[in-house]
Each structure stands twice: as structure tokens, then as C-alpha cells.
Amino acid sequence: DIQMTQSPSSLSASVGDRITITCRASQDISNYLAWFQQKPGKAPKSLIYDASSLRSGVPSKFSGSGSGTDFTLTISSLQPEDFATYYCQQYNTYPLTFGGGTKVEIK
């Protein structure tokens, strides 16, 4: 199985900050990576697929990059509605696997 490791597991940031979350795959997954946002008690929301393609309706302050084993999610200018937990997920092979999540909290 492909292991997905996210870092950090949590971070504190202020409104207006730019943050970067890292996701590392245990083997090459090309660009078959997605990012999700989840708020407490809510279903995940799809943000990015194919490592860097923004899903329709997702603000351009979200961006993704990377290929192979190393990927990043960047959020420019954090807003109050961006404080949530973020997950990466590989879909290169079954079983599909998620990273452990990164909780973004208000400083």
C-alpha cells in the first residue's frame, strides 16, 4: 500500500498569512494526488486534483504543486473560513490512501 505522510500535523497561523502543507508518498504516484478541506462536523470538500488542478468554484488562493512523491498545498492570505483540516489523497493505485491530515488553527 502507498503511505501518505502529511506535515505538519497541525499549525497555527494568523489571518492574512500564507501557509504551506506538505504531503509525501511512499512511492511514485506521478500527479495522481488530490487535496480536501474538512471543517468540524462537515463532509470533506474537494479542492484540488491531479496535484495542481483547482476544482471549479474553489478560490485561487488555494494552489497545489508537486509530482512523484512530494507535493504541497499552499493557501495564500488565510481567511477565517480557511481554518480547517486538510487531507491529501493518492489515486495512483488501490487501495486509495489519505494522509493523516493537517489541522490549521487560528493563532
Partner 1 sequence: EVQLLESGGGLVQPGGSLRLSCAASGFSFSTYAMTWVRQAPGKGLEWVSTISGSGGATYYADSVKARFSISRDNSKNTVYLQMNSLRVEDTAVYYCAKGVIGAAGVFDYWGQGAQVTVSS
**Applying CB under 8 A, which residues contact partner 1?**
32, 34, 36, 38, 43-46, 49-50, 55, 87, 89, 91, 94-101
* C-beta closer to partner 1: residue 78 or 88: 88
- Is the peptide bond preceding residue 80 cis, with omega within 30 degrees of 0? no
Q: How far is the CB of 107 from partner 1 (least distance, A)?
A: 23
Q: Which is nearer to partner 1, 34 or 75 (CB)?
A: 34
Closest approach, Cβ 11 to partner 1, in A, equals 16
Q: Which is nearer to partner 1, 46 or 76 (CB)?
A: 46
| Rounded distance between C-alpha atoms, residue 4 and residue 63, angstroms | 19
| Nearest distance, CB of residue 52 and partner 1, angstroms | 13
For residue 39 the three cell numbers come to 471543517
Compute the distance between CA of residue 74 and CA of residue 13 in angstroms, rounded to an integer.
13
Shortest Cβ 82–partner 1 spacing (Å): 18
Long-range CB pairs of 48-55 (<8 Å, 24+ gap) are 48/73
Only one residue has cell 462536523, namely: 41
